[in-house]
Amino acid sequence: MPNDLVVRGLRRTYDADAAPVRALRGVDLVLARGEFVALMGPSGSGKSTLLHLLAGLEPADEGSVELAGVLLESLDVPGLARMRRRHVGLVFQFFHLIDHMTALENVALAALVAGLRPPEATARARDLLDTLGLLDKSGELPAALSGGQRQRVAIARALANRPTILLADEPTGALDSEGAAEVLDLFGRLHGAGQTILMVTHSPEVAAGAQRLVHMRDGQVVEPQGAQPSPVGAG
């Protein structure tokens, strides 16, 4: 099965007043097409830093990231922006929706940025909100939505460009149990449809919904021996 993501020897160190912080210390990770992987680890283990590097939001000091067959280190800043628009969907803990725009407008804006014309972007946004059970909320501002609904809008926005990989950083961290369950059900359906997903979470209950579990500790990936991807849609 082809791989959507191949990470080799990734290292990242930040300068600090007291001493350099070695956030990543040689990370190796492979995601096959259609895999749903949960990444767990204690605070400071490098999980969010890894996601930032995979999205091309900051550079690595050493190592390589190959996403959808493209080596990120070979791209300049405009090239990284184009790569994100084409291949990456980002979901964050705190939604980051535009407050004065409706749910439909938030999603359509992402489709416009991805290169769709306005009528196509609006149609794409409507289709996504319908799929996510939010078409009746398309005219609502974020403040009128529950936490789970806002996160589903944020996920719709992340899917507007039909990304190769969905990167989710603690997507249930700001939600109550009902909202978290909504998001997990959605991720399961996306995985069943073949979407590649890498999700950072601190919750064993949330991680249990993934196809494969990978641990990080001290800036390195520690993966269980013998872990193998299960068929798309399983788990």
Whether 155 is covered by a domain: the verdict is no
Where in the sequence is the domain holding 64, given as residue range(s)?
3-95+162-222
Kindly state the tokens that stand for 102.
């409706």
**What's the CA gap between 113 and 86, in Å, rounded?**
10
Q: What is the mean pLDDT of residues 92-104?
A: 91
**What's the CA gap between 106 and 109, in Å, rounded?**
5
Task: Report pLDDT for 233.
Answer: 40
Whether 145 is covered by a domain: the verdict is no
Whether 79 is covered by a domain: the verdict is yes
**What's the CA gap between 66 and 51, in Å, rounded?**
13
Whether 209 is covered by a domain: the verdict is yes
If you average pLDDT over every residue of the chain, what do you get? 89
Model confidence, pTM: 0.89
Kindly state the tokens that stand for 67.
């996403």
Whether 67 is covered by a domain: the verdict is yes
How many structural domains compose the chain? 1
Q: Sorting pLDDT into bands at 50, 70 and 90, what band is 38?
A: very high
Neighbours of 15 (CB within 10 A): 7
Whether 228 is covered by a domain: the verdict is no
Strands 88-91 and 3-14: unpaired
Name the burial class of residue 49, with classes exposed (0-12), middle (13-18) and buried (19+) by CB atoms within 10 angstroms of its CB.
buried
Say if residues 159 and 191 touch (Cβ distance below 8 Å). Answer: no
Whether 210 is covered by a domain: the verdict is yes
Q: What is the mean pLDDT of residues 97-112?
A: 96
Nearest 5°: the CA angle 168, 36, 235 is 130
- Does pLDDT of 229 surpass 90? no
Q: Could you tell me what percent of the chain has a pLDDT over 90?
A: 70
CATH number, domain at 191? 3.40.50.300
Q: Sorting pLDDT into bands at 50, 70 and 90, what band is 223?
A: low
Residue-wise pLDDT tens digits, 128-186: 999 888 999 999 999 999 988 998 999 999 999 999 999 999 988 888 888 888 888 88
Task: Report pLDDT for 17.
Answer: 74
Poorest-confidence range of 44-48, 74-78, 111-115?
44-48
Whether 195 is covered by a domain: the verdict is yes
